[in-house]
A and B are shown apart, each in its own frame.
Chain A
Amino acid sequence: MTTKQDAASSLPPGSQLDADWFTDKFVMLVMFIGGISAIVFILSIIVFVVEQGGVFIFETMDIQEFLFSPRWRPTSEWNATYGILALIAGTASVTGLAMVIAIPFSLGTAIYIAEFADGKFREYLKILVELLAAIPSVVWGFIGLSIMNKVVIDVFDVPVGLGVLNAGLILGLMAAPIITSIAEDALKAVPDGYREAAEAMGASRWEVVFKVVLPAARNGLLGAVLLGLGRGFGETMAVLMASGHSVHIPESIFDSVRALTATIAAELGETAQGSEHYGALFTIGIFLFIVTFFINLAADLIIRDIRKG
Chain B
Amino acid sequence: MRKFKIAMALLAGSIGFSTAADARVMIQNKGSDTLVNVAQAWAEEYQKVEPKVAVAVTGGGSGTGIAALVNGTVDIANASRSIKAKELKLAKKRGIEPMEHIVGYDALAVYVHKNNPMKSISLAKLAEIYGEDGQISKWTQLGLEVPGCKSQKMVLVSRQNNSGTYAYFRKAVLGKKRDYKLGTRDMHGSKDVVDLVEHTPCAIGYSGLAYATPHVKMACINKAEGEKCTDPSVATASDRSYPIARPLFMYTNGEPTGATKKYLDWIMTDEAQCIILKKGYAPARAVTCN
A residues with CB within 8 A of B:
70-79, 86, 149-150, 153, 157, 159-160, 162, 240, 244-248, 256, 258, 266-267, 270-272, 277
Residue of A nearest to B180 (CB): A73
Determine whether B187 belongs to the interface, using a CB cutoff of 8 Å to chain A.
Answer: yes
Residues of B close to A77: CB separation below 8 A: 167, 170-171, 176
In the complex, what's the smallest C-beta–C-beta distance from B167 to chain A, in angstroms? 7
Docked complex Cα distance between A157 and B201 (Å): 12
- A-B contacts, 30 of them at CB < 8 A, read A71-B182, A73-B179, A73-B180, A75-B166, A75-B167, A78-B177, A79-B179, A150-B199, A159-B150, A159-B151, A159-B153, A159-B200, A160-B196, A160-B202, A162-B196, A240-B188, A245-B160, A246-B185, A247-B182, A247-B184, A247-B186, A256-B183, A256-B185, A258-B186, A266-B186, A267-B162, A270-B162, A270-B163, A271-B162, A272-B63
Q: Is the CB of A159 within 8 A of B183?
A: no
User: Is there an interface contact between B185 and A245, defined as CB atoms closer than 8 Å?
Assistant: yes
Q: For the complex, is B76 an interface residue (Cβ under 8 Å from A)?
A: no
**What residue in chain B is nearest A247 (Cβ atoms)?**
B182
Chain A residue nearest to B151 in the complex (CB): A159
Known: A248-B182, A270-B162. 12 other contacts (CB 8 A): A74-B161, A74-B162, A75-B161, A159-B150, A159-B151, A159-B153, A160-B185, A160-B202, A162-B196, A246-B186, A270-B163, A272-B63
Q: Does B231 contact A (CB under 8 A)?
A: no
Q: Is the CB of A245 within 8 A of B179?
A: no
Which residues from chain A contact B131 at a C-beta distance below 8 Å?
Answer: none
Contact status B184-A246, CB under 8 Å: yes
Chain B 130-163 interface mask (CB, 8 Å, partner A; 1/0): 0000000000000000000111010100001111
B155 touches A159 (CB 8 A): yes
Instruction: Give every chain B residue within 8 A of A74 (Cβ-Cβ).
Output: 161-162
Contacts of A159 in B (CB 8 A): 149-151, 153, 155, 200-203
Pick from B150, B163, B182: contact of A157, CB under 8 Å: B150
